[in-house]
Amino acid sequence: MNIALAQLNYHIGNFDSNTAKIIDTLKTARSNGADLVVFAELCISGYPARDFLEFREFIDLCEKSALTIAAECTDVACIIGIPTPNTGPHGKDLHNSAYFIADGKVQQVVNKALLPNYDVFDEYRYFEPETEFACINFKGHRIALTICEDLWNTIENPLYMIRPMDKLIEQKPDMMINIAASPFAYNHDEERIAILSDNAKRYNLPLFYVNQVGAQTEIIFDGGSLVFDKQGELVDELPYFKEVLTYYVLKDDATITPQQPVTLMPERQSNIEQIYRGLILGIRDYFYKSGFKQAILGLSGGIDSAVVCALAAEALGAQNVMCVLLPSKYSTGHSITDAEGLVNNLGCMSETVEIKSITDAFETALHPQFEGLPFNIAEENLQARTRAVVLMAMCNKFGYILLNTSNKSEAAVGYGTLYGDMCGGISVLGDVYKTQVYQLANYINREREIIPQNSITKPPSAELRPDQKDSDSLPDYDTLDTILMEYVEHRKSSAEIIASGYDEATVRRVLKLVNTAEHKRYQTPPILRVSPKAFGMGRRMPIVGKYLS
Amino acid sequence: MNIALAQLNYHIGNFDSNTAKIIDTLKTARSNGADLVVFAELCISGYPARDFLEFREFIDLCEKSALTIAAECTDVACIIGIPTPNTGPHGKDLHNSAYFIADGKVQQVVNKALLPNYDVFDEYRYFEPETEFACINFKGHRIALTICEDLWNTIENPLYMIRPMDKLIEQKPDMMINIAASPFAYNHDEERIAILSDNAKRYNLPLFYVNQVGAQTEIIFDGGSLVFDKQGELVDELPYFKEVLTYYVLKDDATITPQQPVTLMPERQSNIEQIYRGLILGIRDYFYKSGFKQAILGLSGGIDSAVVCALAAEALGAQNVMCVLLPSKYSTGHSITDAEGLVNNLGCMSETVEIKSITDAFETALHPQFEGLPFNIAEENLQARTRAVVLMAMCNKFGYILLNTSNKSEAAVGYGTLYGDMCGGISVLGDVYKTQVYQLANYINREREIIPQNSITKPPSAELRPDQKDSDSLPDYDTLDTILMEYVEHRKSSAEIIASGYDEATVRRVLKLVNTAEHKRYQTPPILRVSPKAFGMGRRMPIVGKYLS
């Protein structure tokens, strides 16, 4: 049997585009001799379709797309992912399903049994888990078809009560197929390979695994679909962050022969290279899928906005990136020259808008209220907010989308101005700690100096008052980022973090900063997720709470 | 047996305050002769504690609080709600539990079986459902204790596979207790009474139901705890929106004698009165629980900001409400006199800050970029954003919290300026349609004119360009609100809404406006929830999607 794996980029709710892409791929695969083409989990609707799934009309459109695709399935079979109505008397309205389509119609429906409901996942909000299991017979093979999480219950202290493959193996399948929508995190590829290899070995079956690729607002799918032989050895690892269609001949003795050259990745990409590629895809898809072409951002001369600018230029083309220099009376000379250097290196558009006359106008207008009171955070934030208003005015006038440039360290401790530098359509670095931003800058400069070296080496500063440095109010970033990683990603307690060797007062202060900044993060743009625990939908905290705050 | 119902207001993660309140109540109830005091679901942690629950330290603090409470339980027993570790080999880390405490220690643990995971609820994210059931024996009674949703599976096409009471009834209990955290919606009280009465009748048992009261950021608990006899007749309905401790003697023949005067509500409060009281509680608790006292808002002379101002004055005291008039060159004379009239009627603080000099400064600074281009939404938004920056500067200088004044109709169709009038710490009217805002205004004026009649009768306008009216770009609010209600709350399809008699083009335009404003709503403040479907955590939509957009 010739099996094709279609690792494609879908768009939530865009039925015309998703259906056309699937049909085009089917035709190509058929002409290349494929018997069966495997698409990803919920490819019909895109993933995650969230509460669109609560609209019966949306579900009907999914079914209509599937029937259109089925009509094309002559001389080729396929597996697609689709939400379907739960026709039973109990439970949630839907199943997260796979259709096995052959001879022009849906031959069999397989429903997902293990429904992730942690981090960014909300599947139990919509779907009823399956409790009955049946293999698919096709061309003399018996296929154990599962959906994503269904294979992820092999760990100790499992999250779910059953293992679907333990049921399916009783029916003596000779191969496994798993269709997935498995989001990117910089450390997820190795875990995925280990879990899936373990499944192939455990059940002594070859395994074909198809993931989505592409970004859906904040959630990035990295592709990296996988093929294992029945010993659990990797036969193929598809490229990351791009669409691809590959072919494999599976013989009756369960050996697998790839029909194209295979480059098994000799060593994993570094975390930073993965983050870089993930962010590029995240920016590109955000603009493409929302119908915009051009980005705008404020360029401060600092490292965060420089890295965002370089990423945007790579994702959208430098000609589609507008950089705005917004100097104030506290901006230092090198801020402007560093920003100009970057613009020149990349070839972006740029404008300069001095904000002093505007902040002066605010201060004059507020003079009756503020008279006699010392300069404080009110005046600092005025500058950040004035910049945001200028940038948003240019968005409204010219159709740009504003890129947010806050990093994860700042977002964590609330070191940023709400409605100021925390504005934007999408946050590019909101899941990238400051220490990782430095690594990204060096990665961007790996072949030539794009980001001026001075932006990398100078002490970070918000430049909202004379001689301000980040280190005036925050621990050094190495310390801060380690504490944040332990607290945010590993969910360690303050006692555990202190016990691992950090100063108690610093730990308590950092955790308190994190927990009291929840109201700010609530109103920030969606953040491109590149870690196992990003701020946003995957981390849901009370705003008016009193824990560690 | 003398049973006390403690309908109290908790604070998420504030263990000291929650524990002290529970112990004080226990002491009072004991001195008044109570044998058993019933507190609400998850009263120890507050509800919803969201991802705080993922921290082991948080769970340990819950247990510590419970032990402190247990030590006080001499000569009185109690039932409290608490998250507890799942000690089984499979499943989620926690249970949503009730402790039955007597003689100074935890005698029995009951876990919730039906875990809501829709709308604002995420219980399956944290909790493993219970599958085994046991009654509690106390003072010759056998108590069937369940937790909130456990009694909500009596409807047709049930969401869950089992009914916990069907199991418990086999053990021949002689009474039911249900502890709850059941959020307010303006139509929820009647539904609650009907479902619980049905349970009492169905199982032929008296039922004591204790709900929380108080707001946790956007989610408002309305109290309204209930007592039914075994015929399902209402014996008592506790007050809404306030804390109360009541007593009942339950005899062996299952008759119930309230120990205080009972006022069964002869008729339901109107939706608008309920919304009014819910919003007052929502504002008050947001400020109290986050440690702030004073609110600020921009007063336009229009109805939305007038209603918010009146609500804030009632919730916080007029002396704690700062009204800022922010006229621009497009503001009409009546806007200022109407705003001043309101300030005088309420006795709030007020300031006036003219924004013309500031918007002029923006336009001058942007002149090189904008030269020759016509006035458009960029200049309109400049005004709204300038106002927001002024209000936020006053927040930063004086410690106010900004109240957002957008209504649900505007929020739905994106008729508002991000980082402008969409700013604020909490949105007061974001779940109140414009037509309901008018009803609220009339309710506020029920005894005397607080909101100037002209604010109610004049045509609504954002006043961002000369002679602008809301009706220039939106259907009339009666039509708009009905379409929105059908789409947002009832999740009807466009075809269904059109079939019910609305103009097709209008329906399609409104639905498209709703679906393309998702990116704006993502960044708005938390919205006090008063309906069954509010924007925010209870309605999760893709941002970059393509459905009806």
Residue A270's pLDDT band (cuts 50, 70, 90): confident
Q: Which amino acid is at B532?
A: P
Residues linked to residue B237 through DSSP beta bridges, in sequence order: B226
A375 interfacial to chain B (CB closer than 8 Å): no
User: Are A117 and B118 in contact (CB < 8 Å)?
Assistant: no
Catalytic residue among B148, B309, B348, B395: B148
**Rounded distance between C-alpha atoms, residue A423 and residue B523, angstroms:** 9
Q: Which secondary-structure segment (H or E) carries A130? A: none
Query: Residue B84 belongs to what H/E stretch?
Result: strand B77-85
| Contact yes or no for A49 and B542 at CB 8 A | yes
Q: What's the DSSP call for residue A211?
A: -
Q: Is the dihedral of CA A59, A62, A68, A70 positive or negative?
A: negative
Q: How far is A518 from chain B (nearest CA, A)?
A: 11
Which tens digit of pLDDT belongs to each residue from A405-438?
A: 999 999 999 999 999 999 999 999 999 999 999 9
- DSSP, collapsed to helix, strand or coil, labels residue A75 as coil
Locus of tokens 């190495």: A478
Identity of the residue in B13, B52, B425 whose CB atom sits nearest the CB atom of A519: B425
Instruction: Tell me what the mean pLDDT of segment A165-191 comes to.
Output: 96
Interfacial B residues in 170-229 facing A (CB < 8 Å) = 216-217
Q: Which of A41, A218, A237, A380 is catalytic?
A: A41
Check CB contact of A543 with chain B, cutoff 8 Å: yes
The burial class, CB within 10 Å (0-12 / 13-18 / 19+), for A467 is exposed
Query: Considering only alpha carbons, which residue of chain A is nearest residue B291?
Result: A544
Query: Residues A335, A484, A270, A38: is their CA dihedral positive or negative?
Result: negative
> A323, A428 in Cβ contact below 8 A?
no
> For A487, which DSSP code?
I
Region class of B81: left (phi > 0), else alpha (psi between -120 and 50), else beta: beta
- A195-248 pLDDT per residue, tens: 999 999 999 999 999 999 999 999 999 999 999 999 999 999 999 999 999 999
Q: Beta-strand (E) ranges in A337-412?
A: 349-352, 401-404
Distance CA A412, CA A484 (A): 8
- Distant-in-sequence, close-in-space partners of A245: CB < 8 Å, separation ≥ 6: A4, A5, A6, A7, A25, A28, A29
Residues in B touching A17 (Cβ below 8 Å): 546
Min Cα distance A86 → chain B (Å) is 11
Mean pLDDT (whole number) for A8-20: 98
Can you tell me whether residue A203 is helix, strand or coil? helix
Nearest-Cα distance to chain A for B542, in Å, is 6
The CA distance from B30 to B96, in Å, is: 27
Q: What is each CA distance from A146 to A49, A79, A166, A202, B478, in whole angstroms?
A: 20, 11, 12, 15, 49
Measuring CA to CA, how many Å separate B422 from each of B242, B428, B539? 30, 11, 18
Say yes or no to pLDDT of A462 above 90.
no
| Type of residue numbered B11 | H
C-alpha to C-alpha distance for A62 and A83, rounded to whole angstroms: 7
Q: In the block, which residue shows the tokens 């056998």? A: B142
pLDDT tens readout for residues B30-50: 999 999 999 999 999 999 999
Predicted confidence (pLDDT) per residue in B413-440, tens digit = 999 999 999 999 999 999 999 999 999 9
A102 bridge partner residues: A105
Whether A546 sits inside 8 A of B491 (CB atoms) is: no
The residue of chain A with its CA nearest to that of B49 is A542
Is B92 a known active-site residue? no
Query: Which residue in chain B has the smallest CA separation from A494?
Result: B57
* Structural contact between residues A143 and A176, judged by C-beta atoms closer than 8 angstroms: yes
Positions in chain B short of pLDDT 50: none
Instruction: Quick: pLDDT tens for B444-481.
Output: 999 999 999 999 999 998 888 888 888 888 999 999 99
Cβ separation B376–A397 shorter than 8 A: yes
Tell me whether residue A148 is one of the annotated catalytic residues.
Answer: yes
DSSP state, residue A128 = P
Tokens of B507: 């329906």
> Looking at residue B467, what is its pLDDT?
85
- In the stretch 443-472 of chain A, residues with CB closer than 8 A to chain B read none
User: Which residues on B lie below 8 Å from A524 (Cβ)?
Assistant: 523
- Which tokens go with A188? 């997820």
- Burial of B310 (C-beta count, 10 Å sphere; 0-12/13-18/19+): buried
Task: With beta carbons less than 8 A apart as the criterion, state whether B175 and B68 touch.
Answer: no
**Helices and strands, counts by H and E, chain A:** 17, 20
Pick from A52, A365, A549: CB nearest B390? A365
- Helix residue spans in A415-523 (DSSP H): 434-444, 453-457, 477-484, 494-499, 504-516, 518-522
Asked if A542 and B397 come within 8 Å (Cβ–Cβ), the reply is no
- From the list B157, B152, B155, B165, the residue with the least C-alpha distance to B115 is B152
Residues of B in contact with A118 (CB under 8 A): 125
Is B322 near chain A, with CB under 8 Å? no
> Which chain A residues are Cβ-neighbours of B526 within 8 angstroms?
522, 543
Query: Which residues pair with residue A323 across a beta bridge?
Result: A297, A350
Angle between helical axes of A271-290 and A303-316 (0-180°, round to 10): 60
Quote the CA–CA distance of A437 and A441 in Å, as a whole number: 6
Mean pLDDT across chain B, nearest whole number? 96
At residue A81 the predicted structure's pLDDT band, cuts being 50, 70 and 90, is very high
Nearest to residue B403, comparing CAs of B339, B329, B320?
A: B320
CA distance B408 to B427: 10
Tell me the C-alpha distance between B504 and B494, whole Å: 8
Three-class SS state of B388: helix
d(CA B6, CA B25): 7
Tell me the mean pLDDT in the region A398-407.
Answer: 98
Bridge partners, residue A536, by sequence? A539
Nearest alpha-carbon partner for A29 in A248, A176, A235, A226:
A248
A112 is catalytic: yes
B542 and A12: CB-CB below 8 Å?
Answer: yes
Chain B residue with Cα closest to A526: B522
- Please, is B318 exposed, middle or buried when counting C-beta atoms within 10 Å of its C-beta (0-12, 13-18, 19+)? middle
Angstroms from B472 CA to nearest CA on chain A: 20
- Alpha carbon distance, N-terminus to C-terminus of chain B: 60
How close does chain B come to A405, measured CA to CA in Å? 16
Q: Classify residue A422 as exposed, middle or buried by CB count within 10 Å of its CB (0-12, 13-18, 19+).
A: buried
- Residue B388 distance to chain A (closest CA, Å): 9
Helix or strand holding residue A4 (H, E): strand A2-7
Determine phi and psi for B450, rounding to 5 degrees. Answer: -95, -55
Peptide bond into A466 cis (omega under 30): no
Query: Residue A201: in which H helix or E strand, if any?
Result: helix A188-203
Phi/psi at A102 (nearest 5 deg)? Answer: -150, 155
Residue of B nearest to A547 (CA): B13
Whether residue B154 contacts residue B195, with contact meaning beta carbons closer than 8 Å, is answered with yes
| Three-class secondary structure of residue B233 per DSSP | coil
Q: What is the DSSP letter of B319?
A: G
pLDDT of A234 reads: 96
Q: Tokens for A471?
A: 């280190």
Rounded Cα gap, residues B201 and B216, in angstroms: 33
Say what the ipTM of the complex is: 0.96
Instruction: Give me the total of CB pairs closer than 8 Å, taking one residue from chain A and one from chain B.
Output: 260
pLDDT at A267 over 70: no
